[in-house]
Structure 1
């Protein structure tokens, strides 16, 4: 049987290698995820840390004290024409302050002084600027409130009966894992995407090229035939996972995550650990794809089926995200979800639990073997030649 497996695997490997475009597509996808994450992190940090502090003010003469405070906070003030239409002006500015006509009178009377902050929430830069302006305004409002209380002979601390101190116990690794949670989907999909073209070519492609008949009459059992195809497809899935993780290890350290208080420096050992945790998923992915593609009567039909299967890795990630579920022991017994939890722990630099790893691995490998056995039964039937 081993000789049969080796012969089938070698034949499928040669067939897959003859399609360089599929291999280049696999390489391109494997690099796409880390590149997109690097670009997204760079843009996020640039937006959060940029030093743009120019704020436009209309009717600046109504609030000289506010203008002085904003300048002390490092803002540059741009005075706008009082007659300028505010809806047209906001298109050229991130935020505009408009003190009310009775701003000074309200302050002198000890009443709340009205000021309007105009912004366009459809622009990220406008939201960031508005947040900085609101923080500066809150500081000035607190200072004025303290002065009013002292003028009345009341200690400002009397207005703050409770002082809450915020203590964040999350480690830098925990914060990094939260930010990198989207990267898990790219790694999980790589296991499915890597084996997809091999599974299609080895099943529906064989039938469409009319080479399936010649293959089935060979002195090779249906089980050996399917297992040989399965192992080659799983090998390409592992290749996709390895490329994605390698690209992550090279590109993500280039992201300026330190500006966000996040430290993540993947080591070769951590990358190898993540690969070992995800590797069993390639067996399930290739087995499930071979089973689905065996029911397809043409190459295009198989592509449709397997394209829908690409959503399988996304479902657990979306469910955990939308339902805001915490890690539970039962999750490791769910295919794909267990690998996602193991990968999440690895990103947090938590040593993998051997029991959880054993359960998650047994489930996906067992499910992959079930798919292979069902596919082998299909290949042992005459209906496979006629199309299922």
Structure 2
């Protein structure tokens, strides 16, 4: 153990003096995710909320054919804008988000008691137009229902005849479960942080030393190579775990600046959440450190190792992509699959649901078993004499 501790302390001290490792493991890696996430969410949510609170400006073609409808829509927040000759081009060029066109025969159809048609011209492929279009549709539907009810009353009929089936919505979601859906990508940020926290260290301690030809003198010492490997892995563990701790803390702080409550949501990223995340993510710290070291051992240069690990970085994204593309019901066996179990567990925590001790134990045990296997394979690769040869 003395040899392992010596290697561990040496690698930690040397990498604490390396600016690239510090920037990647303790600054850029753990902080870029929370900062970008919060900035994007704030910009998007604030813009949509502000649009919802403000009157909606819509170009109206043929407003003179339906003055009563326009007056009713104005009371709901519509601000009619000047008509345009080519509304289709205006929508495609984003000069207008949505255009309301009222045909000339609107008044004639209205007085006959027939269905009077209007047109909404918009481009659904433009993501920033959805709020305005939905809002205008709700205004028109509300006006249509009200006028339909008035027609029935004028004929001595009950307005309820228009609603043969009444639907009573009973949404079982909670403010926190709705927030969990919004922040479903957060588990991937945690996994990516672990990867970034140990990547440059894993490269430097294997491929880097191999390229500098300092690995051969180290292996020449009369000590078992697995002890040297454990010392190097220990250093990677420390940096990866520190990176994860900073990231979880940063999300907890930055989460308070997201206006989730204005959307009727609640997000709790406090100490209880952070503690459970760290607990179930510790096995991944060990697993990814072993995998990074294993992959870097096959590279003959620092740059080559970067290429290999960049490809390996895609692996942690697979559970996130799978769950987002193919929503599945959470099953007990998922907690036995490393990466997937952590993804599911953190998503459940974000939804406000608690993890049982059995589920936490499944995440930890399965992760530790796979991490141990990866470490044994890496130790076997470290026995090769070719590992110390750079050419």
The question of a shared fold, defined as TM-score above 0.5 by the shorter chain, is answered with yes
Unaligned residue ranges in structure 2 (runs of 5+): none
Unaligned residue ranges in structure 1 (runs of 5+): none
8 Å contact 1:230–1:286 — kept in the other structure?
yes
| Aligned twin of 2:16 | 17
Q: Which digits, 9 at most, give the CA deviation of each residue in 1:267-297, with x for residues without a partner?
A: 2233222222212210000011111111111
Q: Give 1:104's match in structure 2, choosing from 103, 107, 111.
A: 107
The root-mean-square deviation of aligned C-alpha atoms, in Å, is: 1.7
Q: Give 1:147's match in structure 2, choosing from 126, 146, 150.
A: 150
Whole-angstrom CA distance in 1 between matches of 2:107 and 2:71:
14
Whole-angstrom CA distance in 2 between matches of 1:92 and 1:196:
47
1:88 CA displacement: 4.4
| Aligned twin of 2:7 | 8
Q: Does 1:345 align with 2:351?
A: no
Q: Does 1:255 align with 2:258?
A: yes
Q: Does 1:198 align with 2:197?
A: no
Which residues in structure 2 correspond to 1:291-306 (within 5 Å)?
291-306=294-309
Number of residue pairs the alignment of both structures matches: 385
Q: Which digits, 9 at most, give the CA deviation of each residue in 1:202-227, with x for residues without a partner?
A: 11111100011100011221111111
Q: Give 2:382's match in structure 1, choosing from 379, 384, 387.
A: 379
8 Å contact 1:106–1:113 — kept in the other structure?
yes
Whole-angstrom CA distance in 2 between matches of 1:191 and 1:93:
45
8 Å contact 2:283–2:371 — kept in the other structure?
no
TM superposition outliers: structure 1 runs of 4+ over 6 Å:
none
Superposition TM-score, scaled by structure 1 size: 0.94
Which residues in structure 2 correspond to 1:288-327 (within 5 Å)?
288-327=291-330
Q: Does 1:186 align with 2:185?
A: no
Which residues in structure 2 correspond to 1:261-300 (within 5 Å)?
261-300=264-303
| Aligned twin of 1:232 | 235
SS of residue paired to 2:345:
helix
1:103 CA displacement: 0.4
SS of residue paired to 1:203:
helix
Whole-angstrom CA distance in 2 between matches of 1:288 and 1:88:
54
Range that drifts further, 16-25 or 314-323: 16-25
8 Å contact 1:41–1:257 — kept in the other structure?
no
